[in-house]
């Protein structure tokens, strides 16, 4: 557990002629949570996508357990979960089917495990309804169930509390707290305060030029 | 835990986190990617039958437009069947990756730790099962209305089946390249059609020989070679294109 660490070294990212990330430095060890804040358009999403290897920084590198992630991208991806703005769900499938396929591609899961995760996020009433009939908050909850099921050390979350009610936001806090207790790492782009103990929380503030 | 009044979820939480995990084998991952697409297709049947209806309409309009005389129809039958098959498989291509790009499925595939090439190959296989195979089964029926003899049926089925494998794979590259573009239909055809020409030529030739009762093995083998080439190269190219699109 202890050798888990994520570092961003001098990350520069350009989108067209916009210099989005300008020498971002970050370092995170097991059991720590990094809260990325900043006004809209300052590159929070770009930073997360750069960290998970979807975007290639023009300069700098991302290190996972001391290794450049480019040297073994599939291995790095097997250790991380990234949830973007929109929960990656198929509207024609039910929450159960969605998780079965989405998580099943990554690792073996059993049906009880899946049902437990859905129950945990309060989905037992609507787990067999097509996702198109669910509210945005319910979809977000299904995504949270998926996040917990992936059982990976690194979480990269883009606005994980969007559309969630007060209880749902507490659930996010609780999931993050458990992840940190397991020695996992969390990077979350989030506007308001994360409900996790301050000792493990670090902050990164992005700003406009 | 005092921050979470009324929380009774602790026990389940421990259960979820304590489970030991074993990663899915590439074969499992491909099977799931394929069965997900099949299940989705049967949830959206309209999208599934659209190319097949198009194929049926085009091939049945020809006798009305040209002549009901079977001997003359038989001469144009290979061309009609293959142009219709090519266009209807093109029609189905737009849906191949589009929904997955919108809802983030492709992103999750790219971040799954599995080979994206392999997952896209599974997706393309599902696409062929849903469009190429039904087209191959429908082609003899359409052929009947164009005066094709029953003896030609195996040749027609074989050539459309093998040819559509190549078409699906070529199309997958085009669909992946045009992912970022809205209303990409025209560009997709422009990109895909030149690459699909050899399939059209050899497919129509195999069908023609089958109708005339000659040996159609040579063009069929060339179609097979194109399909094998597609299997080896197209998923790699499609995966590279998808990655660029995700960036």
**Is residue B16 situated within a structural domain?**
no
| Total of domains in chain B | 1
Task: Examine residue B186 and state whether it is found in any structural domain, yes or no.
Answer: yes
Instruction: Give the per-residue pLDDT at A131.
Output: 95
Domain of residue A9: give its range.
1-79+187-209
Task: Flag whether residue A77 sits within 8 Å of chain B, measured between CB atoms.
Answer: yes
Q: Give Cα separations from B26 to A64, A161, B113 (angstroms).
A: 24, 33, 10
- Answer whether residue B99 is part of any domain: yes
Whole-number pLDDT of residue B47: 85
Please report the pLDDT score of residue A199 as a whole number.
63
A88 touches B at CB < 8 Å: yes
Tally of helices (H runs) and strands (E runs) in chain B: 11, 0
B126 interaction partners in chain A (CB closer than 8 Å): none
Which residue out of B16, B22, B23, B245 would a mutagenesis test of the A interface target, given it has the greatest number of A Cβ atoms within 10 Å?
B16
Q: What is the pLDDT of residue B9?
A: 41
Residue A148 near chain B (CB below 8 Å): yes
Query: Quick one: closest CA in B to A145, which residue?
Result: B16
**Are A108 and B24 within 8 A, CB to CB?**
yes
Q: Do B107 and A182 touch (CB under 8 A)?
A: no
Name the residue range of residue B158's domain: 26-246
Q: What is the residue-level pLDDT of chain B in tens, covering all 247 positions?
A: 333 333 334 444 444 444 456 888 999 999 999 999 999 999 988 888 999 999 999 999 988 998 888 889 999 999 999 999 999 999 888 889 989 999 999 999 999 999 999 999 999 999 999 999 999 999 999 999 899 999 999 999 999 999 999 999 999 999 999 998 888 888 999 999 999 999 999 999 999 999 998 899 999 999 999 999 999 999 999 999 999 999 8
Q: For residue A100, is it within any domain?
A: no
> Which of B23, B35, B44 is nearest residue A107 as measured by Cβ atoms?
B23
Distance CA A4, CA B56 (A): 59
Tokens of B149: 């003899």
pLDDT at position A197 is 67
- Confidence (pLDDT) at A141: 96
> In 3D, which of A70, A151, A69, A164 has the Cα closest to residue A104?
A151
Is B19 inside a domain boundary? no
Helix H or strand E segment including A18:
strand A18-29
A84 touches chain B (CB under 8 A): yes
Confirm whether A145 is domain-assigned: no
Q: What is the pLDDT of residue B4?
A: 33
pLDDT digits (tens, 9 = 90+) for A87-136: 999 999 999 999 999 999 999 999 999 999 999 999 999 999 999 999 99
Residue A160 Cα distances to A141, A186, A192, B176, B232, angstroms: 10, 11, 11, 29, 40
Residue B6 lies in a domain: no
Question: What pLDDT, on the 0 to 100 scale, is given for residue A205?
Answer: 87
Residue in B165, B158, B161, B167 with CA at minimum distance from that of residue B193: B167
Which pTM value belongs to this model? 0.90
Residue B5 placed within a domain: no
Give A52's contacts in chain B (Cβ within 8 Å). 111
Q: How far is A89 from chain B (nearest CA, A)?
A: 6
Number of domains in chain A: 1
What residues in B contact A14, CB-CB < 8 Å? none
Assigned domain for B4 exists: no
CATH of the domain at A55: 3.40.50.300
Q: Test B13 with A174 for CB contact under 8 angstroms.
A: yes
Q: Please report whether residue B1 resides in a domain.
A: no
Q: Rounded to whole angstroms, how far apart are CA atoms A49 and A158?
A: 9
ipTM above 0.85, yes or no: yes
Write the DSSP string, B151-212.
GGHHHHHHHHHHHHHHHHHHHHHHHHHTTTSTT-HHHHHHHHHHHHHHHHHHHHHHHHHHHH
- The confidence score (pLDDT) of residue B10 equals 42
* Whether A174 contacts chain B with CB within 8 A: yes
Chosen from B23, B33, B113 to mutate, greatest number of chain A CBs within 10 A: B113
A64 interfaces chain B, CB cutoff of 8 Å: no
CB-nearest to A170 from B4, B36, B112 is B4
Which stretches of chain A score pLDDT less than 70? 1-2, 197-199, 209
């Amino acid at each position: 557990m202890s050798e888990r660490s994520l570092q961003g070294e001098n990350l520069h990212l350009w989108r067209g002629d916009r210099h989005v990330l300008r020498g971002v430095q970050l370092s995170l060890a097991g059991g720590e949570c990094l809260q990325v804040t900043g006004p809209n358009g300052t590159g929070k999403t770009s930073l997360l996508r750069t960290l998970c290897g979807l975007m290639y920084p023009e300069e700098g590198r991302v290190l996972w357990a001391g290794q450049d992630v480019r040297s073994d991208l599939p291995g790095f991806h097997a250790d991380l979960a990234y949830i973007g703005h929109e929960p990656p769900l198929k509207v024609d499938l039910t929450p159960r089917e969605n998780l079965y396929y989405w998580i099943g591609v990554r690792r073996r899961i059993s049906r009880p495990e899946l049902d437990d995760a859905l129950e945990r996020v309060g989905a037992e009433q609507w787990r067999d309804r097509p996702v198109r009939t669910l509210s945005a908050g319910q979809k977000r909850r299904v995504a949270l169930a998926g996040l917990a099921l992936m059982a990976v050390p690194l979480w990269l979350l883009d606005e994980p509390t969007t559309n969630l009610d007060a209880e749902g936001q507490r659930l996010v806090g609780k999931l993050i707290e458990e992840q940190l207790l397991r020695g996992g790492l969390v990077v979350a782009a989030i506007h308001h305060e994360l409900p996790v103990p301050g000792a493990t929380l670090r902050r990164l503030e992005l700003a406009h030029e | 835990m005092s921050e979470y009044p009324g929380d009774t979820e602790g026990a389940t939480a421990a259960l979820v986190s304590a489970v030991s995990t074993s990663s899915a084998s590439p074969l499992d991952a491909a099977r799931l990617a394929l069965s997900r697409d099949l299940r989705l297709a049967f949830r959206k049947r309209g999208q599934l039958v659209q190319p097949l209806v198009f194929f049926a309409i085009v091939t049945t309009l020809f006798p009305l437009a040209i002549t009901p005389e079977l001997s003359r129809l038989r001469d144009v039958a290979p061309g009609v069947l293959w142009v219709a098959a090519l266009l209807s498989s093109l029609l189905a291509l737009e849906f191949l990756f589009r929904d997955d790009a919108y809802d983030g499925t492709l992103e999750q595939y790219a971040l799954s730790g599995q080979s994206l090439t392999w997952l896209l190959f599974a997706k393309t296989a599902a696409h062929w099962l849903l469009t190429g195979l039904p087209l191959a089964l429908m082609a003899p029926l359409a052929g009947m209305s164009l005066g094709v003899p029953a003896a030609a049926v195996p040749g027609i089925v074989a050539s459309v089946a093998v040819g559509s494998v190549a078409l699906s794979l070529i199309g997958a590259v085009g669909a992946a390249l045009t992912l970022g573009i809205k209303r990409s239909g025209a560009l997709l055809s422009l990109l895909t059609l030149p690459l699909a020409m050899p399939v059209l030529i050899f497919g129509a030739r195999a069908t023609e020989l089958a109708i005339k009762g000659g040996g159609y093995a040579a063009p069929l083998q060339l179609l097979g070679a194109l399909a094998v080439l597609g299997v080896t190269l197209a998923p790699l190219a499609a995966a590279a294109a998808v990655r660029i699109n995700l960036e």
